[in-house]
Structure 1
Amino acid sequence: MEEIPNLSGEAEMTSVHKSVQPEDRINLAQLEKQLHFKPGEFIELGLTSQDRKLIYNGSLDRPSWTGGKDEILVFLFDHVLLFVKPVKADRYHPIPLGSLQVSNIDETESNTSGLSGLKAAITRAKVHRSSASSSSGTGPTDSTPAPSKNGFPITFTSIGQKGYSVTLWTSTIFGQKRWLDTIRAQCDAINELNQLFGIVPLLETSENKIQCAVLVDNDQRIAYGTSSGFYIADLRQPDQAGVQVDTLWDVAQIEVLEHSNIMLVLSESDLLVFPLEELISPDPSTAQSRKKRIASLISFFKSGVCKDRTLICAVKTSAISSTVKIFEPITPQTLSQHKPALRKLLQSEGNMVKMYKVQFCY
């Protein structure tokens, strides 16, 4: 590839935070024209687009097999990271910023700037919180790393089917930090534009595993079961941790019946029922005293509507047979159908469901 005027000859790094000027567009048009790709791997970069922005550009070094250094020109646009060399080098294709990861050798795997996806977003939230803790004076301080014989490294990783990783070097730690901060800022900007939904971590420990969850109270709260507890969290206050309603082990299933004003929880094969109005109260833990166990040795359950009546089917399985128990939530309408004596008994005992006499075995 021929040398590109005003772009390939610069050894100092330049930061550009505005749209490309007309004279620069001429150089970018020459750059786009002189780029070479492998057969069948052409990528339309759109460098001459009117809304194209050059965020940062400069030169980095790469050790060669002869013991010297090869100069690599790096251009950070608003959509891709481009590596350029004044000779044919079609090994390193441009990296879309959504699939770019940058790091240096001293960083841990928790640096996920530029990664897209659920895991990266949650990890970035943890990194930001730990960074805030360190800046407040409570965390450890990092000493300035000593340069290697090649300088200060930056590893660029393209994540995908044709991904690759390349390590380039800067001569100063200031240059290394400038490159990392600028690329990560643009990667975060791209991820913000492409983000379809917000992520709110409910638990930040792998020991207490979330096994099921359901939205309640017009999707303003979430009830979730873990391996060691049953919790309610207010989604309007994402900074506050969820409130533990009850210490239940191995919560496998949760279902809400809003019309019946109850919540069903399957914990350690016990089917429990909670009053919904207390779960969405300011103190959800008060619902613990009013929970009822309606069945044991239950594998799973499912609710539905049959002939305008809400029913709950709980399945009890064994090695030789399966039994389906059917329950119906007790509402003011169902109470009115019973005789006065039975209605008074159901109300006094605080029952929230009743069981049908018929059971299905197979």
Structure 2
Amino acid sequence: MIEAKRLHSVELSLIRQILQCAPSDAINLALGELQFPLPNLLRQKSLEILQKGTPRYTPNAGMPELRETIAYHYPWAKPENVCVCNGVEEAIFVSLLSSLNPGDKIAIPDPEYTAYSAIANILGAKVIRLPYESDLLSINWESWEKILAQNVKMLIFSHPSNPCGHIFTKEEAERLITICNLNKITMVVDEVYSRLVFKNYMPEYFREAESIFLLDGLSKSHCMSGWRIGWVISPPELSASVIKARQYVSTCSNWLSQKLAVFALSAEGMKAVDEVLAQLNECRFLVLDKFQNFADKVLIPDATCYMMLKVEGDDLVIAQELANKGVVTVPGQAFGEVSKGWLRINYAVPKDKLEPALDTIINELYLH
């Protein structure tokens, strides 16, 4: 028996490869998970829920009360267009599975979250990249317009972006929507980092798109990564297809997770977001302090839990060397060509681990 051809172009992510060469006690600044405790009000609520009910199968698209709660947060959405998934990555998978045919073109920014291209390749789609400029934030709009005019069926991106924390301005979002509407491109917007914003708030730009999948979840905002709750709000004409695809991927999401998600999205449960953001802000202040003398080498955006660090030499080799020293980071080339020569660092780590890890990085890269 040999591996299916659809997986031939998919490799173990560089993040996982780096983890494999790190010692067991290494400090992990690589995986996209906030390493803070589950907020206590969520912990206590989950125990209360479990004491009162018995976990069972739920409808494929999720419990009706959770779908209604999610739709409430998006005034333009209807519960019947919401599909609850096992995390945002499953939401990505079923969204693409329900709408892409082999050979269809899907555009993905460069750099961008690694799973998008991997899933597209599994489904036999043709991936084309939309490069950011070398600062990882600026866009050559003439280039993007030209690429998107080449019979592209779908555009997928995270907003704020992973790994660089880019947030479109209102004018940029309107320009992108116009391009997509003109070229009949369906947008897939992954907003899982939308509540990890340190200045102002996250505007809702993309509802004006003619065809859009909107994805979000609780892994980042509520520190609920292990509870596996995400969702997709689909174009009405594809909602039934998404639910059908989801049925045969994993049937339904965990009963307890869905019950807790209803509470997490209530006014009381949203207090957990403030708690998580406060912890993340403390870590961000530490990062800003540590790298204040190396400002020309870092990108510390106003959103997400990531910073980008410019390095001299092969970013993969440097990440491997840091892993051997007990600090795991992600080489920028994991996310695309444009981010080669950078490292992504997740600073959502308790400060007693974060500080020595940052000291190791600075010592090895700049003071060694």
Greater helix proportion: 2
Common fold by TM > 0.5:
no
Greater strand proportion: 1
Q: Tell me which structure has the larger Cα radius of gyration.
A: 1
Using the size of structure 1 for normalisation, the TM-score is 0.20
